[in-house]
Structure formats: structure tokens, C-alpha cells
Structure 1
Amino acid sequence: QNATIIINPTNPTITGRVTPTPTRPPNVSPTPRPSVTSPPDGLPYRAFSNDSYWNTPMPINAPIDSRSAVYIADSQNSSHTQNYLRFTAAPGTSQGFGQPIYWASPSDKLYTISDGNLTVQVHIPRGAAPASGSDGQITIYDQSTNQVVGMSGASYNSSSDTWHVSGSIDRYMLNSNGLDRRVSGSNSNNNYGHRGITTAVRAVRLDEVQAGVIRHRLACFWWATGTQTVNHYWPMAGDEGSKGGIVPEGIVIRIKPSVNLASRGLSAPALVIAKALQDYGCMIGDNSGSGNRLKLELNEAAWRNIGLTYDALAPIPWSDWEFIQGGYNP
């Protein structure tokens, strides 16, 4: 049975819940793997305090970056990107770089994991698995220990029942403001990693789209970032250096407030995502190597069931976007 999303014609957000809402989403890759565990019951969970930078919408009159037009023109270059924001791990495309997201419970085993710089103790559900791509990423929400943990280069050894990380770990406390301890304004010395972009915003969560609202900023992957003007903007604590592009990491791009999303013929799930991209924007925080992208939670079957496609944002070309002034704090 296909999921049904109800649109309120007077409000371009989705007002109805998706029916049915899967409690145990099906396997999401051609090879056998565990189902991604569901978030807690009720409204979609939102990490961090209500006044967090990540949870604060951009004002309609937010200052526009002086190089916005240059950055938009860079996005319109067909040799760099298609003329719209694409989804990583959309149905029918490679699933290796989607983001597996798991919700731990206090009864799950508590693992101690280190990347050499940061050591965390986090509950991880049995059967959890990282993405199959070379990044090997995974996200764990562990409300019992008040943290959301992201890992890259993650692997699980079933013989020893241990987790290892060949890449890096980022950990942010759920009741904090979500800013890395290395940047101004952070209110938790335990917040650290991934150059200041928490794993909580690095992928579109399925349950949020099903519920019809995403209430926080997201992070986008750019075809290539650069350090021509600055290395990076607050609240990022670092960057990948020059990757051959011109857009600095940490800057936020949004759909212009003047764009009437309801008139663009977007699918229901695309409308939910587009509304978040208009209200909160998307921070450029990483390189994709191929096109400008927004990563999806790993669950191909469920995304297909609600009708999200790889090109769902094609009705919103780059001319409908603008860059907020770098380092702006709403």
C-alpha cells in the first residue's frame, strides 16, 4: 500500500501524517542488513535547545552575502552541477552514501569507541550497520546518555562485539545548543567533531518528512568548496581546504523567501524538504565530488513509498536560491 500525504492548500506544509507510518522500516540495500530502528513515538524529535543556531529560522530580511550572485553562477555551470539540488541515496540511485540513523535505548549495549582524538561511550542497537560506501558513516541518537554521535569509517566486529572507527567521531549533547566547543557561543565542552557540523543535521530524516515538517537547518554537500575569500565561516570550526571551488564552507544557502513553493508542482515530500530549505537554509559543510547534494537517511524502500525521487527539487533552479551573509547568526 502506498503512503498518502495530505496537503493543506492554504498552507504549503504537510498537515497530515503519512499512512502507514513504518515502525520498522524494511531493509534498505540489496544485501541483507538490519532494519533501521525507528525514533521515539510522537512528533519528530529535534536535537538541541529551541534557541540553538541550528533550530533558529533565517529571518526573511537576513543579509545576503556580497558574493551570492557569483556563487549562484558557479552552481549554474553545467560542468559542475545540474541546475538543482540533488538527493544522495534517493530511490533508484546508489545507496552506499546514504546516512543510516539509529535510535538507541538504555537496554542496548554501551560501547566505548575512540578515533584517537575523541572517545565516546554510546549505546548502539544490535544489528546497527554503517553505510556500505567508502565513508562508512552512521548516526546514533542516544537520548539515555544525552548525545547524538556520528562516525565515519565505522565498522563492527561481530566476533569481538566491538565497534571501530578508522575515520572520525563527532559527538554533540542533545540538551546543548549544538555548537562545537571550539567556536564562540558553544555551551558544552563535550560538543566536538566534524569541523563543527553535527551529524544531527547532515541528512534528511525520514520521520521528519513523514510528519510534514523539518524544524532545523540542514547541511549540504557542494560539488567543490574553496578558500578564495575565507577558509570557513562560523559556526564551523574547520574546513577541508581548497577543493577547487569558490564557495566557502560554513556559508548558508536558502530558497528565496519570495518563491511560492506551493505553485511549483513539488511532490509532497519534496515540499516538506523545500520548506525547510527556505525557512532554515542549508549550510555548505562538505564536498560531494559530483554535483550539489543533500543526503537522505538510508531507507530506499520507505523513500520510494512516500514518493521522493532523485530529481524532486528540479522545479527549483539555482536562480531561486541565495546565499546568506557568511557567518551570520540569526
Structure 2
Amino acid sequence: MSKRFFAEDSYWNTKIENNPKIISRSDHFIKLLYEADAASGFHINLNAWTIPVYEVTKDTPRVNVAKRMKNHTGEGSAFYKNSEAYIQQQADHPQGHGPGFGMNVPIPEHAVPDKESDSHMALVDYDQGIAWDMWAAERRSDGTWWSCTGMTYDLYGSGVFDPKDYAIHNGESIHLYGPSRASGVPIIAGLIMHDEITAGKIEHKLACACSCVGLLEHVYPPAIWTDGAYPNGIPEGTLIQLDPELDLEAFGLTREEKIIAKALQEYGAVMTDYAGGVTLYGEGLWSNKTKNWDGLLDEEGLRKIPFSNYRCIESGVTVEKGMVPMPHKLLFKTYYDQTGLPEHLDLKEENE
């Protein structure tokens, strides 16, 4: 059986109990999934906008990863600008790199971040039990590395960060404090791993994302923040379960699709981020010479099961905090489309 991340009793590795409590807004949230994706079923990011995971050891060459946030040419610079007053007030402000991250990071020579603008990348040392993850990671032309965010944490720990460890202010991005997902969850949490599919079983919750994530609202655990911009949207951290009584044989699923669908019944999927549609995440394998998804898993395969077969489960405490609308092109559009408020000129220009 393939290895799984985090402790056996981690939130991520715990099955949904029998007859769980369905949240009162479940039907509303399922309708939002249909609104977010006309294909009416989960996509799976396998070849872009996902997380490559590289195994490392104590012998992997170490590099120092510099802070990139202030100099990022994309949304990172807007996040930095939004928090600049707090950065100036705090001499030891993390500016994107969490405690213990930055020095002596083991990065294999063949490592390549996600090729889209998120440029996520994760490193795992199974022997030492350590994980590192980054958003907006880049190998510069001189061979050195920098990243907008960086975290190092216990690979066999809880898989849930403690919100008390982050001196974040309402309205900021959690990225300024280290976490590489906007919900403040580890980027390896909920990934569909190639070895799990070939082994025939997924034994953990999955990560998902959509465009209708809730404004200033998240569910802890596992989320400690949100970048949601949709009023009364689906809070990041929400647990979505495929009906456990559903007959999977009725949908013409392949063996591999049934493995994922079974995990969605037993463990569910956690809303962890914003995305243009509604998607799950498989590990990125583009620089792996021995593994690929071709012929094994189709990005559209889970579309066969409509969203109407899912429900949202009560699994944590709803917290009304997060990143309010700020200079971020897609999140701005969602916010203003839903509220009908006029877009502030200065912020609009920042996104053009």
C-alpha cells in the first residue's frame, strides 16, 4: 500500500462517520457547484494547476530559498502591498516564509514547480518525517531559488496548522505568513497520488476547489483562512461527501475512477482553494520519468457523477475571518458580480 501523509488519526486520514450531520446550507452549496462548473461534476487537475511532490533524503543537495513576495510580478506583489503597513511595523515579519523555512531546503536537481502561475512545489522526506512546500517557487537564471511562500512541517503530524501560530490580520492573505494554499492547509493534503491509484485504494480526504468559495468564512479544522470572495459561498474547509449509499457501478466508471469515487464516499473532499471550475487535485508528474497519468486516469472521468449526488457534512467550526476582496483580478470579479457594488477604480487599475 502507498504511503499516506500525516498521522493515522489526522483529520485528513479520518473516515466520515456513519450518518453524519448534514449542514443546513448543503443544498445551497451543491447548487453553487453547478453554478461554478457547467460540466456538473468534478474535474481532476492532473497536468496543470496542481502540486508536484518530490521525494528527498538526507543526501539531497540543500539550497537556501530566498523570499520572493515583494518582487513577485503577479498577485504576490499585491498581497505584499496589502500587508505592507504590518510588515513595516514588525521587524521580523515572515513576508511569506513560515518558521524554519528558507535555509537548507532539499531540492533535487530535476525538480520543477507547477508550470502555471501558482508554481506550487512540495518536498517530502519519508525517513526523517519532514515536508516542505512552496507557492510561486522559481529556480532563477543563476541557479538559485526563491518563493513567495514556504512552510516546513511534520510529515506525520496532524496536517492541520494552528491558527494561533499566525499573527495575521483580517483582510490579509495567509500567504504572507507561510502557508501555500489560501485556506492555510498543507499543499500535499488531499492530493491524489499516482501510487495510490496503482495500488487500488485512497485512504484519506481529497482536496478540491471551486470559484464560489465563501467571503470571510472558513471551517476549522482544517482551514485556518480563506481567499473566498463569494458572499454566502462555500467556506474553505467545507467537507463534501459523495452519497455513501450510491451504487458506483451505475455510472460506467473505470477502475481508477471508482477508487477516487470510493474515497469521496468514505473520506470526502475538502474545499481548499479558489479555482476557475470545480476540481480535485492529482499530483503533478511532468518531470517524473517513471510515472505519468496517461492511460491511467482521465481528468474528465469523475464528471460522470453529477453534483446532485453529493452533500456537505458538518465537520468543524465556522470562523468569520479571511482575506477581503483586494487586488486580485479573478476574486474581484467574483465579489463585484455577486454584490453589484461598483469596482473601486484604483483597485481595478491594479489588475490591468
Give the structure-1-normalised TM-score: 0.75
What is the alpha-carbon distance in structure 2 between the residues aligned to residue 54 and residue 192 of structure 1?
20
Is 2:118 the partner of 1:123? no
1:231 aligns to what SS in structure 2?
Answer: strand
Alpha-carbon contact 1:85-1:313 (below 8 Å) kept = yes
- Comparing 51-60 with 106-115, which one deviates more in the overlay? 106-115
Q: CA deviation at 1:143?
A: 2.7
For 1:269, which of 256, 266, 275 is the aligned residue? 256
Is 2:60 the partner of 1:108? yes
Is 2:341 the partner of 1:316? no
2:34 aligns with: 76
Q: CA deviation at 1:137?
A: 1.0
Alpha-carbon contact 1:81-1:223 (below 8 Å) kept = no
Give the structure-2-normalised TM-score: 0.70
Q: Which amino acid aligns with 1:319?
A: S
Is 2:184 the partner of 1:203? no
Alpha-carbon contact 2:54-2:111 (below 8 Å) kept = yes
Alpha-carbon contact 1:53-1:177 (below 8 Å) kept = yes
Alpha-carbon contact 2:6-2:158 (below 8 Å) kept = yes
What is the alpha-carbon distance in structure 1 between the residues aligned to residue 243 and residue 295 of structure 2?
29
For 1:286, which of 264, 273, 276 is the aligned residue? 273
1:135 aligns to what SS in structure 2?
Answer: coil
2:213 aligns to what SS in structure 1?
Answer: coil
Q: Number of matched residues?
A: 269
Change (3 A) 1:65 1:83: same
Q: CA deviation at 1:145?
A: 4.0
1:154 aligns with: 137
1:197 aligns to what SS in structure 2?
Answer: coil
Q: CA deviation at 1:65?
A: 0.7
Alpha-carbon contact 1:75-1:318 (below 8 Å) kept = yes
Would you identify which runs of 4 or more consecutive aligned residues in structure 1 move more than 4 Å? Answer: none
Alpha-carbon contact 1:183-1:237 (below 8 Å) kept = no
Q: CA deviation at 1:144?
A: 4.3
Q: In proportion to residue count, which structure has more helix?
A: 2
Q: CA deviation at 1:313?
A: 1.0
For 1:299, which of 273, 285, 288 is the aligned residue? 285
Change (3 A) 1:217 1:99: same
Alpha-carbon contact 1:100-1:138 (below 8 Å) kept = yes
1:162-201 alignment runs, 5 A limit: 162-165=144-147, 167-182=148-163, 193=179, 194=181, 195-201=183-189
Change (3 A) 1:248 1:82: same
What is the alpha-carbon distance in structure 2 between the residues aligned to residue 180 and residue 134 of structure 1?
25
2:39 aligns to what SS in structure 1?
Answer: coil
1:108 aligns to what SS in structure 2?
Answer: coil
CA displacement, residues 151-208 of structure 1 (integer Å, 9 cap, x when unaligned): 111011363x42210x212333112111102269xxxxxx962343112225311111
Q: CA deviation at 1:138?
A: 1.0
Q: CA deviation at 1:149?
A: 1.7
For 1:97, which of 32, 44, 49 is the aligned residue? 49
Say what the alpha-carbon RMSD is for the aligned residues: 2.4
What is the alpha-carbon distance in structure 2 between the residues aligned to residue 74 and residue 62 of structure 1?
21
Structure 1 vs Structure 2: percent identity of aligned residues? 28
Q: CA deviation at 1:325?
A: 1.5
Change (3 A) 1:303 1:80: closer
1:323 aligns to what SS in structure 2?
Answer: strand
Alpha-carbon contact 2:131-2:153 (below 8 Å) kept = yes
For 1:254, which of 241, 252, 267 is the aligned residue? 241
**Where does the alignment leave 5 or more consecutive residues of structure 2 unmatched?**
68-94, 166-176, 319-352
1:30 aligns with: none
Q: Which amino acid aligns with 2:204?
A: H
- Comparing 110-119 with 59-68, which one deviates more in the overlay? 110-119
Change (3 A) 1:192 1:131: closer
**Where does the alignment leave 5 or more consecutive residues of structure 1 unmatched?**
1-42, 90-94, 185-190
